[in-house]
Amino acid sequence: MHEHLKESRYRHSLGVEEMAVRLAGLHGADAEKAAFAGRYHDIAKNMDIPEMDAQIRKYGLPEHLLGNNALAHSKVGAAILEHEFGVKDADILNAVRYHTTARKGMSLLEELIFVADVVEDNRTYSDLDYYQQLAYSDLDRACYEILEYTIGDLKGKNREIDTDTLEARDWVLQRIKEKNNGK
């Protein structure tokens, strides 16, 4: 089942599975769905560009994904899980589909996989502990800070920012503000 995954990617996938289950427990999501989506979210990550492009065409995915493995692997991964592995659960498929960009209106499971991907235990960046604690205590805040960081990083590298990423940031910020007003 993990033929497309290299060893390090496999370890990352198990790390996301574990973190997703932890976050599901803390924030009241379905732990089994979190585990499955976490384990398989990067199923298409290690495809080379020609293979990825062939999958994009095969599944009729948007042309702008061609040649862009960073954005394509989540969409292709969801298509493989749906059509090759017979996964029917829409929330699991969307959690995989939007794990790189997030999106406005994302479900709890989608948000949790988006965050777990970045804060799993095998990540090595210096602020990992800060982001993990934030993910445990305030999932929306963690999601927002990750999106802000990603957008700033992509801007700095002059890379195109997906509309879903920008809309997700605005949407989650709005939700944080509304929550604070209610207190």
| AA identity, residue 69 | N
Residues 114-143 that bind ligand DGI (CB under 6 A): 117
Query: Closer CB to Fe ion, residue 18 or residue 42?
Result: 42
Q: Rounded to the nearest 10 degrees, what angle do helices 139-156 and 163-181 cross at?
A: 140
For CA atoms 13, 61, 95, 182, the dihedral sign is positive
Least distance (Å) from Fe ion to the CB of residue 183? 34
Least distance (Å) from Fe ion to the CB of residue 152? 19
Least distance (Å) from ligand DGI to the CB of residue 183? 31
User: What single-letter DSSP state applies at residue 44?
Assistant: T
Number of residues that bind ligand DGI (CB under 6 A): 17
For CA atoms 104, 110, 114, 115, the dihedral sign is positive
| AA identity, residue 105 | G
Which one among 79, 165, 169, 171 touches ligand DGI, defined by CB under 6 A?
Answer: 165
117 binds Fe ion (CB under 5 A): yes
110 binds Fe ion (CB under 5 A): no
Residue owning tokens 């963690």: 142
Contacts of 128 (CB under 8 A, 6+ apart): 119
Instruction: Give the interface with Fe ion as residue ranges (CB under 5 A).
Output: 42, 117
Residues that bind ligand DGI (CB under 6 A): 12, 42, 45, 70-71, 74, 99-101, 117, 150, 154, 159-162, 165
